[in-house]
Chain A
Amino acid sequence: MEYNKHFKKGIRDVQNISLTSEEKGSMLSHLTAYAAEHPVQSISLWKTIYIRLRMYKSAYALAFAAVLVIIGGNISYAAEQALPGDLLYPVKIHVNEAVQDAINVTPKASVAWEEKKIERRLDEAKALVQKGKFDFQKKAQVEKEVEKNVRHIRLQSGMRKGREVEYSVKRKLDEIHNDRDDRYNKKEFRGRNNGKSDNFYKTKN
């Protein structure tokens, strides 16, 4: 035990061995002169960014991925409320719904999802009618999308089921269409178009 104490004291004694203050001062002045002869070159902004990226590359990569996920998530969430003609509507159709397409692998789930998509299209059409924005182009767009869904259901569940869905969709679309005509006749949304006549039939013809 005594021996151990001596060893530790010995290590401390050794740690006290140092340069003299003159040696340190003279060395520091030499180093200062050397540093003045070899100055740090001012580095460009791009080089600074490059160095920082290289030093903390994993942290930056994580932060960048997190930002992408957050932005992507927000866009995807906002796109859910989009209607045909909106900026984010293609995101809703080609990203959000494409993800669901990939998730629903079994035929049963796939058919249920296609039916759900038809409902979403019809809801969009109803919302457009409410806003007075359901024109011929939008109607054609909805019909085209719904047709794709019906074709998929027909392939997965057979002709009979496909026909049932098709009739039901046609009936609902007609209802929406009639609703739209009623509203137009009541001039409910004419005022919103600042007195301009509706272009539904104009475009059609």
Chain B
Amino acid sequence: MTQQFIDLHTSESDALFRYCFFRVSDREIAVDMVQEAFMKLWDVFVKDAAEIKNARALLFKIASNLVIDWYRKKKAVSLDTMLDNENSEQFLRLDDESYEMMEILSDGKIALQHISSLDPTYEHVVYLRFVEDLSPKEIAHIVGLSVNVVSVRITRGIQELRKKYGIQ
């Protein structure tokens, strides 16, 4: 395994774990998803390294697809609604048990609750921008939208946060 790949695992595995955990609310499943995402990235790396323009964005994209696949297996019926109308489902799926399991303190809990209270259109991009510190270009690659649309959604998400909670 190349050093580059190990470095990527060291730097990105935590962020990827958070991303998966907040969406599936299950630590073990999230850990498995992170491992599978890295395996899939390795497959791409072996096949054609030149395809990987931004490994970080590609990892999140793979993880996002794994989450969708997981939901597809878990509840086949509700997924159709989720895919048909992206606004019908929340991005963050955290209950009190999840907060306890992760030992998320009150401030962190409130921050996540605020983000999850946003319109689902903005929730995903605001999370990736502020919690995972991804650039609009990387987010655009992950969610499959143009950079302009992503930038607009981030701005409107911030405006909504400001309006609701006075957060700058």
Which A residues are within 8 Å of any B CB, using their own CB? 3-4, 6-7, 9-11, 13-15, 17-19, 23-24, 27-28, 30-32, 34-36, 38-41, 51, 54-55
Contacts and interface: CB of A to CB of B under 8 A. Distances in A.
Contact of B18 (A14, A24, A30, A36): A14
Contacts of B167: 3-4, 7
B168 A10 contact: no
A27 B109 contact: no
A31 B167 CA distance: 41
Contacts of B31: 19, 23, 27
15 contacts: A3-B167, A6-B107, A7-B111, A7-B114, A13-B111, A14-B131, A15-B18, A17-B102, A23-B31, A31-B1, A31-B38, A34-B39, A35-B42, A51-B48, A54-B50
B166 A4 contact: yes
B112 A31 contact: no
Contacts of B108: 10-11, 13-14, 17
Provide the main secondary structure of the chain A interface. Answer: helix
Interface string B149-168: 00000000000000001111
A39 B45 CA distance: 10
Contacts of A23: 31
Contacts of A9: 107, 111
Interface of B: 1-2, 5-6, 9-10, 13-14, 17-18, 21, 31, 34-35, 38-39, 42-43, 45-46, 48-50, 102, 104-105, 107-112, 114, 130-131, 165-168
A27 B1 contact: no
A3 B107 CA distance: 10
A61 to B, nearest CB: 17
Given A13-B111, A14-B111, A30-B35, A4 B46 contact: no
B50 A11 contact: no
B41 to A, nearest CB: 10
